[in-house]
Structure 1
Amino acid sequence: MSAPLRCPPALFALTALFVLLGGCSVNGSYPDAIEPDAAKLRFVANTSNATLDYFDGAHCDGQTTGILNNMLLSDTARRVGMSVPAPKNAKGYLEVKLKPGEQVYLRTNMNSGYAVCGKGFNFQPEANAEYEVTFRSDNKYCITRLQRLQRIDGKDVRTPMPILKNDFPACAGRSPLFPKTYADTPHRLELMNRVIEKSLVVTVKTDPSKDKIERYTPEKLDSLIAERKAKLGFEMPPDYWTLYRENLKAFGDEMAQKKPQTMERYKAEYQTRLRQLKDEQLEQWSQPKTADSKPEKAETDLDVAMMLEYFQIGNGVTFETVSHHLERMAQMDERYGVCARFADCWKRN
């Protein structure tokens, strides 16, 4: 089999529309890892012209893994024999092998002709592990989801994992996607923290008067369980309801941590962007605001961009928390055979 032709990942989805002219392989330019303990990853896309790009220290311009859901091309048929099957509602998917234990950067992309959307994130696969990246879009957002796949007691288990975008030193300054950054020092960290503490998000979102953390009270848990019992219409053992209560409480506790988690990831992303600035610019941006001072346009633009990023991060945290809750509940109903008797049992998406 001849080696696949290569094309830049940023142009891959668009070029696929003109594959006869562009010459890009629908199987992409990324070759599967050959290690015997390689990790396996499935990319599931329910949006058009979807691609998953791969970056490491030797490929800072990226490699493509194939294209999915293109109206002119058949989906890539890349498969690596994963033990957990693809979701039944998958519009299209591909599978690749990854070298274990190595920090890489993955990026989802879609090009609908009127919009381009995607998400980049750091990822370090474990040896012999299986993962799944799902990518979907609606009218306002495109959502990337990462899960660990396992077969436990003969059942497929999907465990949500956080999508984290951090510095990628292996490629810093070597491509437009990874601009040059400056090393952290105690002084630079202090300056960056000052800039972040002045930001619109921190100013508004850390106001104690606006904090409203709600967890499920015992009375609320009793009410939810009573409502579920009425819907089931048949008896379940006490330990089922004990687990049901524990799962609800865990969900409430995790949702109560949404704001702190969102703020933590927001500050990390802000630091990632500020590492591109020289000391002099950080010094200037970190100065306290006064009635006479006027921030640079670049500072204002970054602040506004990070306000939008905060809400995207918050949506991601909520999505992960809800997904984790649904997975726990689905495992519970599978374990107790609820789905065999009740059509509206908890099920995985």
Structure 2
Amino acid sequence: MLRYNLPALLVLSLFLSLTGCNGLPRTTTDNAPPLGPVLPDSEARNAWIAQALARDPLASQNRQPAPRQSNAQVVAKLRQKRDVQLPDAYWTQWQRNLDAFDADTLRHKEAQRALYIATFTDQLKRVDDLTLQRLANAPDTLDAATREDWKLRLIDRYSRYIIDSEVNRDIIDAHLRRMALMDRQYGVCALDSDCWDRPPTP
């Protein structure tokens, strides 16, 4: 299963840039005060927002997956282990199903990342020029209370991303349906009880 969770060290580095060495908030249930209305755009504000986004590990992260076995390699190893005579087309379909699952997972995670970026951008649009400039260029120069507020907003955004970007039930169910249809098409359950198209256990 593909996973693109943000490395902990990147999050820690952003915490430290906002807070120095004062550590995490007192509790994760603390809430930052609400921000004001969206302020008018300007060339300078847009540039500062872009710079602030570039400092954020998740917003700026290069979305390269961690090294892993290819689906072709996974299927090839499985084919060697299973003592079942099945045509090449079956194993080709198995790989396609894994590719489809990975694509669904990636789309879901990217949608949640886009929501994270949109939320952060909206927050940045609501702060005054001086605060925005400091968030963009030198967050450590913010006063202690403001740094704490932005640390809490970061934790809230990132926590929501981690929870919401996990593979959901719809993606898993779609994968299971594809695998069951594949085994049904090739009559696998008649050859091997360890198949995807088994009736549910009572």
Structure 1 residues 66-215: aligned runs within 5 Å = 180-199=37-56, 201=57, 206=61, 213-215=66-68
> In proportion to residue count, which structure has more strand?
1
Q: 1:128-153 CA deviation, whole Å, 9 max, x = no partner?
A: xxxxxxxxxxxxxxxxxxxxxxxxxx
* 2:129 is equivalent to residue 279 of structure 1: yes
| Bigger relative CO (Cα 8 Å, ≥ 6 apart) | 2
Pairwise CA distance, 1:270: 0.8
User: In structure 2, how many angstroms separate the alpha carbons of the residues matched to 1:339 and 1:193?
Assistant: 54
Contact 1:191–1:283 (CA under 8 A) maintained in structure 2 = yes
Q: Structure 1: give runs of 5+ residues left out of the alignment.
A: 1-176
Q: 1:187-208 CA distances to partner (integer Å, 9 max, x unpaired)?
A: 3222222233334x459x84x8
Q: Give the drift of 1:185.
A: 4.3
Query: Is residue 285–residue 295 contact of structure 1 (8 Å, CA) maintained in 2?
Result: no
- Contact 1:182–1:277 at 8 Å: present in 2 too? yes
Aligned counterpart, 1:317: 165
In structure 2, the partner of 1:327 is 174
Q: Partners of 1:225 and 1:295 in 2: how far apart?
A: 61
Shift of 1:339: 8.9
Partners in 2 of 1:261 and 1:249 — Cα distance? Answer: 18
Offset of residue 327 of structure 1: 0.7
Pairs aligned (count): 159
Please say if 1:221 is aligned against 2:68: no
CA contact (8 A) 2:38 2:125 kept: yes
**Cα 1:329–1:265, aligned 2, differ >3 Å: closer, same or farther?**
same
Q: Which of the numbers 239, 245, 249 marks the counterpart of 2:99?
A: 249
- Amino acid of the structure 2 residue aligned with 1:213: A
Task: List aligned pairs for 1:13-32, cutoff 5 A.
Answer: none
- Structure 1 residues 241 and 277, CA gap change in structure 2 (3 angstroms): same
- Aligned equivalents of 2:102 and 2:137: distance in 1? 40
Give structure 2 stretches of 5+ with no counterpart.
Answer: 1-33
Structure with a larger share of its residues in helix: 2
Q: What letter matches 1:239 in structure 2?
A: A
Equivalent residue letter for 1:189 = N
- Offset, 1:263: 4.6
CA shift for structure 1 position 261: 6.1
Distance 1:224 1:266, change over 3 A: farther
The whole-number CA distance in structure 2 between the counterparts of 1:287 and 1:178 is: 20
For 1:257 and 1:251, the matched residues in 2 are separated by: 10
Residues 1:178 and 1:284: Cα distance change in structure 2 (over 3 Å): closer
- Residue equivalent to 1:297: 145
- 3-state secondary structure, aligned to 1:214: coil
How many percent of aligned residue pairs carry the same amino acid?
13
Matched to 2:167, the amino acid is: F
Q: Which residue of 1 aligns with 2:196?
A: 345
Question: AA paired with 1:302?
Answer: W
Q: Secondary structure at the match of 1:286?
A: helix
Shift of 1:300: 3.2
Structure 1 residue 340, shift from structure 2 partner: 6.7
User: Taking structure 1 as reference, are residues 285 and 271 closer, same or farther at Cα in structure 2, changes over 3 Å only?
Assistant: same
User: What are the Cα deviations for residues 181-234 of structure 1, in whole angstroms up to 9, with x where unaligned?
Assistant: 2354443222222233334x459x84x8xx76234323333124445x45xx6x
SS at match of 2:166: helix
